Structure 1
Amino acid sequence: MAIRVLLADDHEILLESLATSINTSDTIEVVATAINGEDVIRKLEVHEVDVLVCDMQMPVMDGISTVLQVRQLYPNIKILMLTMLDDVEPITKAIQAGASGYILKKSKKAELEKAILAVASGKKYFNEEIISSLMKEEKGVVNDFHPQSLTERELEILVLIAQENSSQQIADKLFISLNTVETHRKNLFRKLNIKNLAGIIRYAFQHKLIH
């Protein structure tokens, strides 16, 4: 079955162009489009959607607010941000809000399809320019702590955190207690000098622990 996509962008010409382009794929189908965040919520009430491809800058309800709402109402939907913004701050905000990927509007159709397929399968996706921007942030802070200095269990948990698993999901997958996961999480943040999920994802990409 094709991956069902909802496209959200306030530029209607771009929206129509993207929908037409994506619908030429055999594996992806645009089931609906939306022009702002409130429109996204309305469309999700009537359409089955696997992936939301969402612009960052929209009127009425912006991309970050939309991500937060969708994550709360439809936690199984994966979200890919499609935007012109390549600064670290909006990327970090998108990650913290719950986006699974971040790709620039100037990206080619093949990369957009690749990103949609990646997030639909539960992976993260950031194109090379985005990864470069993330790497510049706090450069040298997490670099001095090599993954080899982490225990095997800590590495497992780090990767699962970077893949957006909750502490309870990690506990279930690794057959360990929730308290054990929380202890490892605190130790990881302390060892790596990381304060949030964006930092964990940045570290995981930097050391090629996730792709």
Structure 2
Amino acid sequence: MPLLVPPAPAPALRSVLTALGSPTAVREDRTPALRVLPGPFTAEAPLPLHVLAGDGRPGGPPLTRLAGWRFLIRCGGRSVAVAEAVVTADGWAFSRFSEGPYVKSTEQALAQAESLPTAYQPRLLSVPELYMLTLWLHGDTAADPAAGSPAPGDPLVPLAPAPPGIAAYRPYRAADLLPVIGVRTAPRQLPGPLLGSPA
């Protein structure tokens, strides 16, 4: 069943298209592929990018926040980079272009998700503390893509490269993967003073 990709906010898409069409609109250098390839470039597969901001209350949903929208930049029938737009006090603004393994792994995970028997709203969920990015397949396809948290049954598909011990491209139930992430991102407690040692 096809993924129901939500439309990106029009100003977010406009900011990315403006950056693609006008190198002077970009403060930092374009990525190597965007400098070398002749184009034309298109911005496709808009995905809301959420950041895991905490575990929430015990037994409650995890806390997430919308960080922006990410677009796959395609040229010649393949994805060559990603572009991000972020919300600012004045509205949406282009943030950056980037390359790297998450370009191809996002494309691969989306293709894999298209073959699932259930319809999902695709999103991205970032876990900065683990340098981890997952394709979050939200079960409520009519939900506001900028809001919400993973439901227990929502599949989370880690993109490659995934942290050690977590398989890339394997769909995990959010209820199974998020506790593992929580353990890995929890602050480490230093042991208390040993008996007989100075405090």
The normalised TM-score by structure 1 is: 0.27
Greater relative CO (CA pairs within 8 A, separation 6+): 2
Which has the higher Rg, Structure 1 or Structure 2? 2
The normalised TM-score by structure 2 is: 0.29
* Bigger proportion of residues as helix: 1
